[in-house]
Amino acid sequence: MAKQDDLFKKVISHAKEYGYIFQSSEIYDGLSAVYDYAQNGAELKKNIRDYWWKAMVQMHENIVGIDASILMHPTTWKASGHVDAFNDPLIDNKDSKKRYRADVLVEDYCAKIEVKIEKEIKKAQKRFGDTFSKDEFVTTNPRVLGYQEKINTILSRLGKSLENEDLADVKLLIEELEIADPLTGSKNWTDVKQFNLMFGTQLGASADSSMQVYLRPETAQGIFVNFLNVQKTGRMKIPFGIAQTGKAFRNEIVARQFIFRMREFEQMEMQFFVKPGTQKKWYETWKETRLKWHLSLGMGKDNYRFHDHEKLAHYADAAADIEFKFPFGFKELEGIHSRTDFDLKAHEEYSGKKMQYFDHEENKNYVPYVVETSIGLDRMFLAVFANSLKEEKLDNNTTRVVLKLPSVLAPIKAAILPLVKKDGLPEIARKILDELKWDFSTTYDEKDAVGRRYRRQDAIGTPFCITVDHETIDNNTVTIRHRDSMEQNRVKITDLKTIIKKEIDIKSWLQKM
Ligand code: GAP
């Protein structure tokens, strides 16, 4: 655990030191769970968004993108169920005055039991060596079975109590498990209360005519209310999808873990409208397609796993998370939800407008079913950033800190470095920069010894450093240094564009899908 905490602390400080993420309004001591993307962070975020948009919109003939507004008519949120049901159960500790999500306290308790299971597995692996079968061990070992049963009993009781709105039982469960405030150890808890996560505000200037509106808590509803507009104007035929990226806001009770859980964040969502009865097939297809998108970035197959939901949201008939191994363990990165016809039907009911599609093949109208893919852009940023940060021991017994970002996502693709600040080398370097910047984001750096400049670019995650030296004057060649291998080759200036393009070309990355 301490190791994980250390790694996470390094991720956070590296993000600040190298111009990726700053605390929002830092000069006023910041605002909890709100962050700003700095010069490199904004580029990385944009590249992730582009990578998603290209895969989802540009590469699918039957998916189009929109950009709906953040403020929507308040009835939207009544219809979607957010006014009545977008709540988290909160509990306060009377001694520490700290506020927690009651369900997260219980889940964290279960996560600790899971760690015990992992320990048993590791011990047995050591004992049995090559003959060890994990599957057999976890299904037969009495201690592991006991732990697993305990987890199942606790989570099933928690699920039932939340479903039945039995908040007194959630508190009883916390007391029975003797769960203490993680910060102070106090077990002096208040009752559990429901807390709506939407931020409300007023639209309009005068008190009489102003209207209570909400900052959208998900981008999905902007797609649902535009379903017929897009279908008609785009002459879309089912199955088809509508995608969008944009800000969402949630007044999260527990706002920790950096950009993992924020109060203002960005989502990349796609709603896929299908014929009723075919949703299971499309749900499986999108689960597979989205996992392939993640794997195409080469961040390690073992870092992902599916978590199928047992307790379903009020709108879903199936749901799964793609979980990623963050520095603090496996957590949800993306959700794939089979949302049935819940949203469109609800909007029909509340607006009195038909939300139906005329199927020419079937010669009938119906409300389509929807399969949704929903990923947090900031969460994806954290996954990419944390997974890329490495500390490497080098042959000469020194270490280097390198951000091995998938090069297609790197904020700066190439740094142009004159070996010295004289003899006409800066002028040649600038000329190369002026040529390359048409195609790639580039930077120029002439300060410090070249070794230090390499380290600086390693830490930023720049895949290529191009050094102009005295030989360049004689034969128009430069050295190109590769971030990951640190290999350096002498190449012609005229070949630079092709070499860089080959490595960062979005097409070749997405073709790995
Ligand atoms: N439209 C469905 C929906 O919003 P969700 O599971 O609540 O579903 C989808 O959110 C994704 O949005 C999550 O998988 C996560 O990546 C991201 N997300 C949700 N809440 C977040 C928060 N407070 N901060 C950052 N990302 C968040």
Which tens digits make up the pLDDT trace of 151-177?
Answer: 999 999 998 998 888 999 999 999 999
**Mean pLDDT, 10 residues at a time, over the chain (513 residues)?**
79 97 96 96 98 98 98 97 93 94 94 92 91 91 95 93 92 97 95 95 82 96 97 97 98 87 97 97 98 97 93 87 95 97 97 96 96 98 98 92 98 98 97 98 97 97 98 97 97 98 96 90
Predicted TM-score (pTM) of the model is 0.90
Considering the domain architecture, whether residues 255 and 333 belong to the same structural domain is answered as: yes
Ligand 1 pocket, 181 CB below 6 A?
A: no
Considering the domain architecture, whether residues 279 and 355 belong to the same structural domain is answered as: yes
Using the mean position of ligand 1's atoms as its centre, give its distance from the Cα of residue 307 in Å: 15
Considering the domain architecture, whether residues 303 and 430 belong to the same structural domain is answered as: no
Residue 329 is part of a domain; what is its CATH number?
3.30.930.10
Of 382, 401, 433, the residue that ends a domain is 382
Whether 194 is covered by a domain: the verdict is: no
Using the mean position of ligand 1's atoms as its centre, give its distance from the Cα of residue 267 in Å: 7
Ligand 1 pocket, 374 CB below 6 A?
A: yes
Please classify residue 494 by burial: count the beta carbons closer than 10 Å to its beta carbon, then call 0-12 exposed, 13-18 middle and 19+ buried.
Answer: exposed
Ligand 1 pocket, 376 CB below 6 A?
A: yes
| Token pair for 446 | 């002439």
Considering the domain architecture, whether residues 230 and 368 belong to the same structural domain is answered as: yes
Considering the domain architecture, whether residues 424 and 292 belong to the same structural domain is answered as: no
Residue 429 corresponds to which amino acid?
A
Concatenated DSSP letters of 346-365: HHHHHH-----EEETTTTEE
Using the mean position of ligand 1's atoms as its centre, give its distance from the Cα of residue 352 in Å: 29
Residue 233 neighbours by CB under 8 Å, 6+ apart: none
Considering the domain architecture, whether residues 297 and 417 belong to the same structural domain is answered as: no
Residue 473 is part of a domain; what is its CATH number?
3.40.50.800
Which atom of ligand 1 is nearest to 261's Cα?
A: 24
Ligand 1 pocket, 245 CB below 6 A?
A: no
Confidence (pLDDT) at 314 = 76
Considering the domain architecture, whether residues 245 and 350 belong to the same structural domain is answered as: yes
Which tens digits make up the pLDDT trace of 371-417?
Answer: 999 999 999 999 999 999 999 999 888 999 999 999 999 999 999 99
Whether 465 is covered by a domain: the verdict is: yes
Whether 483 is covered by a domain: the verdict is: yes
Ligand 1 pocket, 296 CB below 6 A?
A: no
Confidence (pLDDT) at 416 = 98
Of 382, 401, 425, the residue that ends a domain is 382
Whether 238 is covered by a domain: the verdict is: yes
Considering the domain architecture, whether residues 348 and 434 belong to the same structural domain is answered as: no
Using the mean position of ligand 1's atoms as its centre, give its distance from the Cα of residue 223 in Å: 16
Considering the domain architecture, whether residues 301 and 416 belong to the same structural domain is answered as: no
Using the mean position of ligand 1's atoms as its centre, give its distance from the Cα of residue 321 in Å: 10
Using the mean position of ligand 1's atoms as its centre, give its distance from the Cα of residue 252 in Å: 11
Considering the domain architecture, whether residues 475 and 374 belong to the same structural domain is answered as: no
Ligand 1 pocket, 218 CB below 6 A?
A: yes
| Token pair for 400 | 């280097």
Residue 297 corresponds to which amino acid?
L
Whether 4 is covered by a domain: the verdict is: yes
Of 382, 402, 428, the residue that ends a domain is 382
Domain count, the chain: 2
Whether 185 is covered by a domain: the verdict is: no
Considering the domain architecture, whether residues 373 and 269 belong to the same structural domain is answered as: yes
Residue 461 neighbours by CB under 8 Å, 6+ apart: 40, 388, 402, 403, 404, 405, 410, 411, 412, 483
Ligand 1 pocket, 269 CB below 6 A?
A: yes
Using the mean position of ligand 1's atoms as its centre, give its distance from the Cα of residue 58 in Å: 23
Alpha carbon of 222 to those of 66, 304, 381: distances in Å?
Answer: 9, 29, 24
Whether 491 is covered by a domain: the verdict is: yes
Give the helix/strand (H/E) hosting 113: helix 102-128
Considering the domain architecture, whether residues 416 and 378 belong to the same structural domain is answered as: no
Whether 450 is covered by a domain: the verdict is: yes
Nearest alpha carbon to residue 287 among 260, 264, 310, 307? 307
Please give the residue range of the domain that contains residue 460: 412-510
Confidence (pLDDT) at 6 = 87
